[in-house]
């Protein structure tokens, strides 16, 4: 008798279906609905919906990009408690990569791995001005015109503007002319200042992040939006973050992809002080992927599950929950490896194998998410 009751409970019309239908039909995203989905334990149901939306949009294609991560400096004056990568100015382990070395790395990666993108990110270094980046971007574009520059988070742009005593829009305009194509979503973490005050008190405010993204979008620089969850934030604060991204997207349509990733506490100050001991784990990640797919349906097309922070098995599972992009091959990554999280060089053949193993079709994309090669 009990068994039939259990089955009945699983399949009966439920609040979760009503909530999902409401979001899908009205394209109205209400805070309480997002909180309800994020708190739900019905991970399979959310996953089925997330997967069916993804399949409707992309069929069996799952994309990735051949790219290199170039961490041009680890000098940073923002001292975020969740970061194991930065070094203060003057520290014996601090570095800034020379223009020659940057060029060599990109040319090497282009000739050996046929990369389509350089992900150009680093610390907030008070010695680097707009000209430093203009010079590098122009040189890169001259030597490797078909490698897109996906670089500089909103907080890096803010730092460069401070160094030059100018506006973020001025910095963006100049760098766009020099060859900057799009911005990564880093620096968002959780777009609620109560969270930022704890984990990154010296970093730009939530509103500044949104403003800089809006300015970038206004001049035709597209970007990613990210979310780093699993520090000190509440479920409601995660939901607020999602709503803020959705609101800006309605206004600008400038976000190409949403990338949620789970905080890795290892070797960071937050672990050292006991604020966060463990990463959140796979259940929350898959739920986050499904909920993001449901909420951003019709707003943001691409949903990336980073194998880098989540591991390759989780990235595979995330596809069944709604993600359509595996991220990059990331040759030469330094930020996550500073936490000792896991091996960070995953060449395209590993990604292709991982996607095929699940019965999907691997497709290589470019920086704008156009498919350039099917496997």
Which segments are annotated as binding site for S-adenosyl-L-methionine?
Answer: 82, 189
DSSP-based three-state secondary structure for 147: coil
User: Of 183, 184, 186, 197, which Cα lies nearest the Cα of 231?
Assistant: 197
SS3 helix, strand, coil % of the chain, rounded to 5?
45, 15, 35
Q: What angle do CA 77, 81, 83 make, to 5 degrees?
A: 75
Query: Counting beta carbons within 10 angstroms of the beta carbon of residue 313, is it exposed (0 to 12), middle (13 to 18) or buried (19 or more)?
Result: exposed
User: Within 13 Å of residue 26, how many CA atoms lie on the same side as its CB?
Assistant: 10
For residue 17, how far is the Cα from the chain centroid? 28
Q: Are 31 and 19 in contact (CB under 8 A)?
A: no
Backbone angles phi, psi at 44, to 5 degrees: -70, -45
Q: How far apart are CA 222 and CA 291, in angstroms?
A: 23
Q: Are 226 and 261 in contact (CB under 8 A)?
A: yes
**Dmax (CA) of the chain:** 74
* Cβ-based neighbours of 213, under 8 Å, separated by 6 or more: 154, 183, 223, 225, 248, 252, 254, 255
d(CA 83, CA 94): 14
Q: Does residue 226 contact residue 188 with C-beta atoms inside 8 Å?
A: yes
Which residues belong to the annotated binding site for [4Fe-4S] cluster? 76, 80, 83
Question: Virtual CA dihedral for 161, 212, 209, 239, nearest 10 degrees?
Answer: 180
**Which residue has 């040319």 as its token pair?**
107
């Amino acid at each position: 008798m009990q068994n039939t009751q259990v089955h009945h409970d699983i399949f009966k019309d439920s609040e979760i279906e009503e909530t999902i239908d409401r979001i899908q039909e009205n394209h109205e995203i209400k805070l309480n609905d997002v909180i309800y989905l994020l708190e739900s334990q019905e991970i399979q149901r959310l996953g089925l919906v997330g997967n069916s939306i993804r399949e409707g949009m992309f069929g069996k294609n799952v994309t990735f990009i051949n790219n290199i991560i170039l961490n041009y400096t680890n000098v940073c004056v923002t001292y975020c408690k969740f970061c194991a990568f930065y070094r203060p100015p003057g520290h014996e382990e601090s570095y800034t990569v020379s223009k020659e070395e940057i060029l060599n790395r990109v040319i090497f990666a282009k000739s050996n791995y046929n990369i389509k993108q350089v992900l150009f990110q680093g610390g907030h270094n008070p010695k680097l001005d707009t000209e430093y980046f203009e010079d590098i971007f122009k040189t890169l574009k001259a030597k490797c015109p078909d490698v897109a520059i996906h670089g500089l988070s909103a907080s890096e742009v803010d730092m460069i503007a401070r160094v030059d005593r100018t506006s973020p829009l001025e910095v963006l305009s100049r760098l766009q002319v020099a060859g900057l194509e799009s911005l990564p979503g880093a620096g968002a973490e959780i777009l609620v200042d109560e969270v930022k005050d704890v984990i990154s008190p010296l970093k730009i405010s939530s509103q500044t992040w949104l403003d800089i993204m809006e300015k970038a979008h206004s001049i035709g620089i597209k970007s990613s939006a990210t979310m780093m969850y699993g520090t000190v934030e509440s479920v409601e604060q995660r939901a607020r973050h999602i709503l803020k991204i959705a609101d800006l997207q309605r206004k600008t349509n400038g976000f190409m992809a949403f990338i949620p990733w789970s905080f890795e506490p290892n070797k960071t100050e937050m672990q050292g002080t006991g604020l966060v001991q463990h990463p959140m784990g796979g259940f929350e990640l898959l739920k986050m992927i499904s909920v993001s797919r449901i909420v951003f349906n019709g707003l943001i097309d691409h949903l990336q599950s980073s194998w880098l922070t989540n591991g390759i098995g989780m990235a595979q599972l995330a596809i069944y929950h709604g993600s359509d992009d595996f991220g990059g091959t990331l040759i030469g990554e330094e930020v996550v490896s500073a936490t000792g999280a896991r091996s960070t060089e995953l060449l395209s053949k590993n990604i292709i194998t991982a996607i095929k193993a699940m019965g999907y079709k691997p497709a290589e994309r470019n920086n704008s998410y156009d498919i350039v090669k099917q496997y």
